Amino acid sequence: MSELHKFIFDGLPVRGIVVRLTSAWTEILRRRAANTTAGAYAPAVQQMLGELLAAATLMQSNIKFEGALVMQIFGDGPVKLAVVEVQSDLSLRATATVVGAIDAGASLSDMVNRDNLGRCAITLDPGRRFPGQQPYQGVVPLCGDRGEKLERLSEVVQHYMLQSEQLDTTLVLAADDQVAAGLLIQRLPMQGAGNLAGGMRSMADEDQIGLNEHYNRIAMLAASLKRDELLGLDVDTLLRRLFWQERLTRFEALTGDAAPRFACSCSAQRVGAMLVGLGQEEAQSIIAERGEIEVACEFCGAQYRYDAIDAAQLFNPLAAGGTSSAQ
Ligand SMILES: [Zn+2]
């Protein structure tokens, strides 16, 4: 099962989160693979999308925010768009639009940043907006300050976090066809009476960037985490192996019903209602031409199919016949 664990380092201005998405992630992959038009993701795309999803889950659980955190990569390579969305209750979904073939060893820039035009956008969209309230959006390029292409998604997100929150953050991300996982280590904002005056606080925090010895030590330990360890180790073993010399306080883990989980708002009912809106004549003419109506959810890839009998039942619910099915 998917799980998320938060912890702090006792007496130090450093906190951390580990996320392991298993069932939530494989359900996303399963829906995509079952889509007869798009088909399964190439392994390199799978890794990128899984890492993006793990990063978004870490960021959503790291902030106090009611609404959707959406991370998008607008690519200038064969992956045109990758989108992940994580709600404040940690329900999540993800998709990528791929045009053309992706080599097995494709790098991040091969896929989304060929000409350094790739961008990563992070949007916080409150569920219920006040009048005039706009979603917050931050955008960072997929290159460093000197235009060098970033080949790790974790570097892109670290860059964003430093820009938007003025806080040092270290991320380790990994994904394969079973697990999408991430570790986040972040320096906490300075606290204390002297820092309460608005501007003072952020200046003091900015002065601390890169300088806090405790954070630097812990960040180096975190950065030593190997991809295979992050994917393969259980959370207890992972934290013990990395931080055995540190004192940690763990918070109650989010598992079971509280764990991150897949959810998409599409359903056979919604698609059925849309077809009813289209009208019986139009629906029947599509079926006459193609044998069935197929509607795919843009966000999870699920395909909903209606043959002549399904359609008859849809427009005349009392008629006997087959049922529509989602795959
Ligand atoms: Zn869907």
Spatial separation of the C-alpha atoms in residues 198 and 213, rounded to whole Å:
25
pLDDT at position 104 is: 87
Q: How far is the CA of 263 from the centre of ligand 1 (A)?
A: 8
How large is the average pLDDT for residues 251-262?
A: 95
Residue 149 is classified by DSSP as: B
When pLDDT is cut at 50, 70 and 90, the band that residue 315 belongs to is: confident
Spatial separation of the C-alpha atoms in residues 327 and 310, rounded to whole Å:
15
Pairing of strands 261-262, 91-98: parallel
pLDDT at position 62 is: 92
Nearest of 299, 233, 318 to residue 86 by alpha carbon: 299
Percentage of residues of the chain with pLDDT beyond 70: 91
Length of the chain: 327
How large is the average pLDDT for residues 260-283?
A: 90
Q: How far is the CA of 327 from the centre of ligand 1 (A)?
A: 11
Spatial separation of the C-alpha atoms in residues 199 and 40, rounded to whole Å:
49
Residue 144 has pLDDT above 60, yes or no: yes
pLDDT digits (tens, 9 = 90+) for 8-64: 999 999 999 999 999 999 999 999 999 988 899 999 999 999 999 999 999 999 988
pLDDT at position 318 is: 67
Greater pLDDT, 145 or 221: 221
The CATH classification of domain 268-326, taken from the options 3.40.50.12780, 3.20.20.450, 3.40.50.720, 3.90.1280.10 = 3.90.1280.10
Pairing of strands 79-87, 67-74: antiparallel
How large is the average pLDDT for residues 199-225?
A: 78
pLDDT at position 203 is: 56
Q: How far is the CA of 98 from the centre of ligand 1 (A)?
A: 17
Distances (CA, A) of 293 to 251, 283, 304: 49, 7, 8
Which sequence spans correspond to the domains of the chain? 3-262, 268-326
Q: How far is the CA of 31 from the centre of ligand 1 (A)?
A: 9
How large is the average pLDDT for residues 282-310?
A: 89
Q: How far is the CA of 93 from the centre of ligand 1 (A)?
A: 8
Q: How far is the CA of 270 from the centre of ligand 1 (A)?
A: 10
pTM reported for the whole predicted model:
0.88
Distances (CA, A) of 142 to 1, 18, 21, 110, 149: 32, 24, 25, 12, 6
Distances (CA, A) of 16 to 19, 137, 151, 237: 10, 24, 24, 15
Q: Report yes or no: 18 and 238 within 8 Å, Cβ to Cβ.
A: yes
Greater pLDDT, 322 or 92: 92
Q: Report yes or no: 327 and 303 within 8 Å, Cβ to Cβ.
A: yes
Q: How far is the CA of 324 from the centre of ligand 1 (A)?
A: 16
Residue 322 has pLDDT above 80, yes or no: no
* CATH number 3.55.30.10 is the correct assignment for the domain at 3-262: yes
Helix, strand, or coil (residue 17)? strand
Q: Report yes or no: 178 and 22 within 8 Å, Cβ to Cβ.
A: yes
Q: How far is the CA of 67 from the centre of ligand 1 (A)?
A: 18
Helix, strand, or coil (residue 132)? coil
Q: How far is the CA of 223 from the centre of ligand 1 (A)?
A: 35
Residue 324 has pLDDT above 80, yes or no: no
Greater pLDDT, 137 or 237: 237
Q: How far is the CA of 178 from the centre of ligand 1 (A)?
A: 20
In single-letter form, the type of residue at position 318 comes to L
Q: How far is the CA of 243 from the centre of ligand 1 (A)?
A: 39
- Mean pLDDT is lowest, of 76-80, 174-178, 293-297, for 293-297
How large is the average pLDDT for residues 188-193?
A: 62
When the pLDDT of each residue in the chain is averaged and rounded to a whole number, the result is: 89
Q: How far is the CA of 264 from the centre of ligand 1 (A)?
A: 5
Q: How far is the CA of 297 from the centre of ligand 1 (A)?
A: 5
The answer to whether 3-262 and 268-326 have equal CATH topology is: no
Residue 65 has pLDDT above 90, yes or no: no
Q: How far is the CA of 140 from the centre of ligand 1 (A)?
A: 28
Q: How far is the CA of 187 from the centre of ligand 1 (A)?
A: 37
Helix, strand, or coil (residue 302)? coil
Residue 200 has pLDDT above 80, yes or no: no
**Residue with tokens 């080599």, as numbered in its chain:** 103
In single-letter form, the type of residue at position 292 comes to E
Q: Report yes or no: 162 and 64 within 8 Å, Cβ to Cβ.
A: no
pLDDT at position 201 is: 52
Residue 326 has pLDDT above 80, yes or no: no
Q: How far is the CA of 80 from the centre of ligand 1 (A)?
A: 19
